[in-house]
Amino acid sequence: MAKIKVKHTLFFEFVKGLWDESPVFRQLLGMCPTLAVTTSAINGFSMGMATSFVLICSSVIISIVRKLIPSQVRIASYIVVIATFVTMADLFLKGNFPEISKALGPFVPLIVVNCIILGRAEVFASRHSVIPAFVDALGMGIGFILALTVLGTIREILGSGTIFGFLQFEPMVIMILPGGAFITLGLLIAFINYLKDKTKREEVAPACPVPYGSGASEVK
Amino acid sequence: MDLLIIFISAAIVNNFVLIYFLGICPFLGVSNKLEKAFSMGLATTFVMVLAAIVTWLINNYILMPFNLPFLQYVSFIIVIASLVQFVEMFIRKTSPALYRSLGIFLPLITTNCAILGLALLSALREYNFIQSVVFGLAAGLGFTLALCVMAGIREELDLAPVPEHFKGAPITLIIAGLLALAFMGFAGLISG
């Protein structure tokens, strides 16, 4: 009985990242890479993979050492862990996929300050044991990959007239320019709000979590 | 002349928020009131200039001579985080009035990717010291400009009949898209 319950909660932790608490569409986290690198489906997918790798590894590590870190220096410690994995991901991309690494540019190192990772570390990994932390990070990571790939696909179809490099027709160049990114994401979130409305609609606050306990409520 | 080009390029033509997508979180989060947006912009500009100075020194006097560029990300982010903490403490001690208006925004700045982006970009472009400082100042002012324009529009937007599902983030993103299009009009000012 207990086992079933554990499984159920684990399953819940996994699924929530895909839709209910989708990092991009519902929580509005990690907007900078979401908007910047989704000029094509493959770029969005690679960025999602890199971010998920860092998210999963750092969640696991933080969850393992969570009792050793004094709470005053926890943010700094989390950032060191995250930055280490980001360096690994960056070197891996540079070595094996130089073209993708070039296309993503400074947004690979900027995974360090991606609010999704710090947010999950603060909200989840620092309070749960390794397995739930891993499952939660996996769900959030896949949710992020999905969001970036969807956005990248839409912008690639409309902006370049291709899907993952195939298909050809007259493109609307605006969609791969910065303006198109904002507009596409705005429309997508509105559409998801519309779908959500049929069940239950909660207000989502458009801001990154402040990783410092205080301040968050005042800033709003 | 060179400095002027860097300044205009970073502040307007390649605006950090609208063209490079750096610092989107505060752009969406703190842009509902003009006054708040202005304070946030100034605080960010201040930290950006400091961060440009400090990361340039670290990059050129520690990381490069010892051939440690792979430590760039770790060292930059730690320096920025501690810098923000330090600035916060310093302002709280020296000027309580300034602290009241800026203080609550300062912790937010650590997770602002515009700061780290600035440090990485100026390292990538191999700017010299003066160029880095000008780049930092211009990027900060550009950030303030984008934030204030957005806040001004959003204050008016409170009175507009926005469709139910577009309320909040979606309409803000769409306005940002239109602003980004408008800023593309500056693209001809500078090539490259």
The top-scoring range by mean pLDDT among B22-36, B93-107, B129-143 is B129-143
B-chain CB neighbours of A189 within 8 Å are 169-170, 173
Q: Report the amino acid identity of residue A3.
A: K
Between these two residues, B139 and B24, which has the higher pLDDT value? B139
- For A185, what's the count of Cα atoms within 13 Å in the CB-facing half-sphere? 36
Say which of A35, A106, A193 has its CB closest to residue B120. Answer: A106
| Closest alpha carbon to B180 in B2, B18, B14, B49 | B18
Locate A61 and state its tokens: 């590590």
- The reported pLDDT for the residue numbered A16 is 81
Residue B67 has pLDDT above 80, yes or no: yes
- The reported pLDDT for the residue numbered B103 is 62
- The reported pLDDT for the residue numbered A7 is 58
- The reported pLDDT for the residue numbered A48 is 93
C-alpha angle A196/A200/A202, rounded to 5°? 90
User: With bands split at pLDDT 50, 70 and 90, how would you rate the model's confidence at B146?
Assistant: very high
- For A129, what's the count of Cα atoms within 13 Å in the CB-facing half-sphere? 3
DSSP secondary structure, chain A, as one string? -HHHHHHHHHHHHHHHTTTTT-TTTTT--SHHHHHHSTTSHHHHHHHHHHHHHHHHHHHHHHHHHTTTS-GGGHHHHHHHHHHHHHHHHHHHHHHH-HHHHHHHGGGTGGGGG-HHHHHHHHHTGGGS-HHHHHHHHHHHHHHHHHHHHHHHHHHHHHHHS-BTTB------GGGGSHHHHHHHHHHHHHHHHHHHHTT-------SPPPSSSSSHHHH-
What ipTM, to 2 d.p.? 0.83
Is residue B1 a contact partner of residue B130, using CB atoms and an 8 Å limit?
A: no
Percent pLDDT > 70 in chain A is 84
Is residue B29 a contact partner of residue A219, using CB atoms and an 8 Å limit?
A: yes
| Closest alpha carbon to A39 in A186, A135, A200, A181 | A181
Is residue A125 a contact partner of residue A136, using CB atoms and an 8 Å limit?
A: yes
- The reported pLDDT for the residue numbered A199 is 64
Residue B159's CB: how many other CB atoms inside 10 A? 7
Between chains, do A76 and B105 touch, taking CB under 8 Å as contact?
no
Locate the chain B residue with the closest alpha carbon to A78. Answer: B78
Locate A109 and state its tokens: 């190192």
Say which of A110, A186, A205 has its CB closest to residue B174. Answer: A186
- The reported pLDDT for the residue numbered A167 is 66
- The reported pLDDT for the residue numbered A209 is 46
The top-scoring range by mean pLDDT among B73-77, B139-143, B169-173 is B139-143
Contact status of B173 with chain A (Cβ, < 8 Å): yes
Between chains, do B73 and A86 touch, taking CB under 8 Å as contact?
yes
The predicted model scores a pTM of 0.84
C-alpha angle A217/A35/B13, rounded to 5°? 100
Contacts for A118 with CB less than 8 Å, ≥ 6 apart: A75, A78, A79, A82, A209, A211, B111
Locate B182 and state its tokens: 């408008």
- Tens of pLDDT, residue by residue over A125-179, are 888 899 999 999 999 999 999 999 999 989 888 888 777 666 667 777 888 888 8
Is residue A25 a contact partner of residue A189, using CB atoms and an 8 Å limit?
A: yes
The number of residues in chain B equals: 192
Three-class secondary structure of residue A163 per DSSP: strand
Is residue A64 a contact partner of residue A134, using CB atoms and an 8 Å limit?
A: no
Residue A213 has pLDDT above 70, yes or no: no
- Dist CA A1 CA A20 (whole Å): 26
Least confident residue range of A89-93, A105-109, A186-190, B165-169:
B165-169
* A199–chain B nearest CA distance, Å: 14
Three-class secondary structure of residue A166 per DSSP: strand
- Tens of pLDDT, residue by residue over B11-49, are 888 888 888 888 887 888 778 788 888 888 888 898 899
- The reported pLDDT for the residue numbered B39 is 83
Interface test with B, best of A47, A182, A197 (most B CBs within 10 A): A182
Locate the chain A residue with the closest alpha carbon to B81. Answer: A76
- Tens of pLDDT, residue by residue over A42-96, are 999 999 999 999 999 999 999 999 899 888 788 888 888 999 999 999 999 999 9
Q: Report the amino acid identity of residue A25.
A: F
Residue B192 has pLDDT above 70, yes or no: no
- Dist CA A201 CA A205 (whole Å): 13
| In B95-168, alpha helices (H) | 96-102, 106-110, 113-124, 129-157
Least confident residue range of A186-200, B49-63, B102-116:
B102-116
Between chains, do A182 and B166 touch, taking CB under 8 Å as contact?
no
Mean pLDDT of chain B: 86
Interface test with B, best of A29, A199, A219, A220 (most B CBs within 10 A): A219
- Dist CA B10 CA B4 (whole Å): 10
- Dist CA A159 CA A180 (whole Å): 9
